[in-house]
Structure 1
Amino acid sequence: MLARNVGPIDRFLRIVAGIAILSLFFLYPQAAWRYYALIGLVPLLTGALGTCPIYSLVGISTCPAKRI
């Protein structure tokens, strides 16, 4: 299981950006570039799951520190 490394503001922005990019797929059904809009699934899923594999590789975390 991957550790959570995406904070609440970052999660919200990722979900909003993912939905906005993914909506282009449905708004322009005849466009040749339409399938590029599926890249919106990446920020949507990382925001929904609360973990980012790239953050894990680089060692970044936007989550607030856990208090004991």
Structure 2
Amino acid sequence: MANVGLVDRILRACIGVVLLALPFVMAKPEEASMAFGPYAWVLLAAGVVMLVTAALRFCPLYKLFGVRTCPLSK
């Protein structure tokens, strides 16, 4: 029941890694104790969602809107 194609998976994985890294890269040295603000948590959550959808090859929003980026299996 996959609906995410190869190119889409690669893009999602790359974007997910970037979103996961952003809070750590942009954190100030005094925030090294993992005291992230709300925007950092949103970025982390979005990164996890992107990586999970890439790994599972399934996107619930694609299913909802009828979008499919992978070829149909025969």
The answer to whether 1:6 aligns with 2:18 is: no
Q: TM-score, normalised by structure 1?
A: 0.81
Instruction: Indicate the residue corresponding to 2:68 in structure 1.
Output: 61
Number of aligned residue pairs: give it. 65
The answer to whether 1:25 aligns with 2:23 is: yes
How well do the aligned residues superpose, as a CA RMSD in angstroms?
1.6
Q: Structure 2: how far apart are the matches of 1:34 and 1:57?
A: 28
Task: State the SS of the aligned residue for 2:73.
Answer: coil
Q: Which has a greater percent of helix?
A: 2
Aligned partner of 1:40 among 36, 47, 50: 47
1:50 CA drift (Å): 0.3
Q: Gaps (5+ residues) in structure 2?
A: none
Q: Which range is displaced more, 15-24 or 58-67?
A: 58-67
Write out per-residue CA displacement over residues 28-49 of structure 1, whole angstroms, 9 at most, x where no aligned residue: 2725332222121111110111
Question: With CA pairs under 8 Å and 6+ residues apart, which has the higher RCO, 1 or 2?
Answer: 2
Q: TM-score, normalised by structure 2?
A: 0.76
